[in-house]
């Protein structure tokens, strides 16, 4: 049995993780921690792996505390920067532990990001639209940022230049934010859970890759996969695809 601690355990995602782990035949939750609870070797109660679904403001601090507590960490909280990645990478390597940070644990979203990167070199234009419930605190989503970065990397490796866009004025920011040159648009709408559309265009054709999560349980197979595969690694791994053999 894999002993698991969950931080952010009382939140919407955290409570879903607790239920999913306890329902899995090969793992069990041994510690449920939330805001205000100390993260120490004692409070994780012998966990081998911790799952963090807290909030962006505290997730990095949680990961450092969990590494100090001697556990490997799977992170679903978004809002990470290159600087925070670097700090966690250095800490994990020094501690001889593993951290897996995934912008999305839904299998559809992970595959959509992969498909978008594969398709990107063959299209002149690409844009990303992410759509979430109005309770989400960060924008754009970590999934959209990762998707855009993957597209930009694939385009750069293919030697593609800037995308066609004759816009000269955009006082309202209607063209979206730019992630490494890729426009990213964020929608916050009551009734949504999590959706993403990746639009790729050429003269006379369009490819649309769309993924929808209708319930938080859609993320649980990916979370459980991460828990099973994080141990035995060292340092920082970014993206569930890295442990899926993609």
The pTM assigned to this predicted structure is 0.82
pLDDT of 79 above 90:
no
Ranking 27-36, 134-143, 158-167 by mean pLDDT, the lowest is 134-143
Model pLDDT for residues 166-212, shown as the tens digit of each residue: 999 999 999 999 999 999 999 999 999 999 999 999 999 999 999 99
The model's pLDDT over 91-131, given as tens digits with 9 standing for 90+, comes to 999 999 999 999 889 999 999 999 999 999 999 999 999 99
Label each residue of the chain as H, E or C: CEEEEEECCCCHHHHHHHHHHHHCCCEEEEEEECCCCCCCCCCCCCCCEEEECCCHHHHHHHHHHHHHCCCEEEECCCCCCHHHHHHHHHHHHHHCCEEEECCCCCHHHHHHHHHHHHHHHHCCEEEEEEEECCCCCCCCCHHHHHHHHHHHHHHHHCCCCCCCCCCCCCCCCCCCEEECCEEEEEEECCCCCEEEEEEEEECCEEEEEEEEECCHHHHHHHHHHHHHHHCCCCEEEECHHHHCCC
Q: Which residues are catalytic?
A: 132, 136
């Amino acid at each position: 049995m894999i002993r698991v601690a969950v931080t952010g355990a009382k939140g919407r995602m955290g409570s879903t993780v607790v239920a999913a782990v306890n329902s899995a035949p090969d793992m069990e939750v041994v510690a449920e921690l939330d805001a205000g609870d100390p993260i120490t070797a004692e409070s994780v109660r012998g966990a081998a792996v911790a799952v963090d679904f807290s909030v962006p403001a505290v997730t990095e601090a949680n990961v450092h505390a969990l590494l100090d507590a001697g556990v490997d960490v799977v992170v679903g909280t978004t809002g990470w920067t290159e600087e925070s990645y670097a700090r966690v990478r250095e800490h994990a390597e020094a501690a001889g532990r593993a951290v897996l940070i995934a912008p999305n644990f839904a299998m559809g979203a992970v595959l959509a990001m992969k498909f978008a990167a594969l398709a990107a070199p063959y299209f002149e234009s690409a844009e990303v639209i992410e759509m979430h419930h109005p309770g989400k605190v960060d924008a754009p989503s970590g999934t959209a940022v990762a998707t855009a970065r993957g597209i930009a990397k694939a385009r750069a490796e293919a030697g593609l230049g800037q995308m066609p866009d004759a816009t000269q004025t955009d006082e309202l920011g209607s063209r979206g934010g730019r992630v490494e040159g890729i426009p990213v648009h964020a929608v916050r709408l009551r009734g949504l859970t999590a959706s993403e559309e990746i639009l790729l265009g050429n003269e006379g054709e369009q490819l649309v890759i769309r993924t929808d999560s209708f319930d938080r349980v859609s993320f649980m197979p990916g979370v459980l996969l991460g828990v099973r595969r994080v141990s035995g690694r060292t340092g920082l791994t970014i993206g569930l695809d890295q442990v899926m053999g993609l």
